[in-house]
Amino acid sequence: MVYSEDESFDKRFCVERKIFYSDFDASGNMRLSRLGNFFQECINAHSQAINRGIDYCVSTGRTWYVIAWNIEIKKLPKMYDKVKLYTWGYAYKRSLGQRNVIMKDENGETLAVGDSLWSLMDINKGTPLRIEDSDMEGYVIYPRSEEMTYMGRHIELDGAFDLIDQIRTRKWMIDYNGHVSNDSFIAIASEYIPEDVSVSRIRAEYRAQAKYGELLKAYMSVTGDNTHIIKLCGEAEEDVRCVVSFSVD
């Protein structure tokens, strides 16, 4: 693991993407769930590029699980736009790592900025592991982005929640780790946001796994500042698997 104070993007890991037909919705803007997917794929591509991807995780029994996302949206890309995604880690301690992702357009304008919290886990036991030097080999640590407002990991659940839906998890929702993927949780929650609104922030807090065929119950609360909070639970409301909040302008 190497530290760098270089604030330019020239040496940071970058993926170039294009917004294709399946990436945008009826408005012509990128789907909220695809934004989270692009961010996570960029991170996975970075790990794979330095030989710390899936093969490394399987061979060592050590993998990273995301615990929380905070994505600040400045402007959603539109159909067939070309974008660049940059990612880097900025802090690591014990079993936790923090990482930024930034999406920019062809002119270098920032479209969205993400902050994510990850935990290094034992694949077989499902318990946290202390980060070793070998886990960080090939990574360069840069300062965290100053282009966004940072939020806490936990999403407060103080308001009254109403049961609004029940969903049976499908095969397309399941990722390589055998549970509902992070972007699938965001995709499910985004179904309950009113149409024709602008979302300026997405936060997701992942509390427990959900497997294929499970029944998830969706509860929603709308705060005074028009933040829509959706919690996806198991059979009991107290069995919270994921909480997703959308700041609606």
Q: Are 156 and 203 in contact (CB under 8 A)?
A: no
pLDDT in tens, 70-128: 999 999 999 999 999 999 999 999 999 999 999 999 999 999 999 999 999 999 898 99
pLDDT in tens, 203-234: 999 999 999 999 999 999 999 889 999 999 99
Residue (of 90, 99, 44) closest to 71 by Cα position:
99
Q: Note whether 2-141 and 162-248 share their fold.
A: yes
How is the chain split into domains, by residue range? Answer: 2-141, 162-248
Averaged pLDDT, 51-62: 90
pLDDT in tens, 100-116: 999 999 999 999 999 99
CA distance 72 to 70: 7
CATH number of 2-141: 3.10.129.10
State the alpha helices, DSSP H only, in 191-246. Answer: none
Q: What pTM does this model have? A: 0.93
Averaged pLDDT, 145-153: 94
pLDDT-derived band at 26, boundaries 50, 70, 90: confident
**Distant-in-sequence, close-in-space partners of 154: CB < 8 Å, separation ≥ 6:** 68, 205
pLDDT in tens, 42-56: 999 999 999 888 899
- CATH class as words, domain 162-248: alpha beta
Token pair belonging to 196? 């024709």
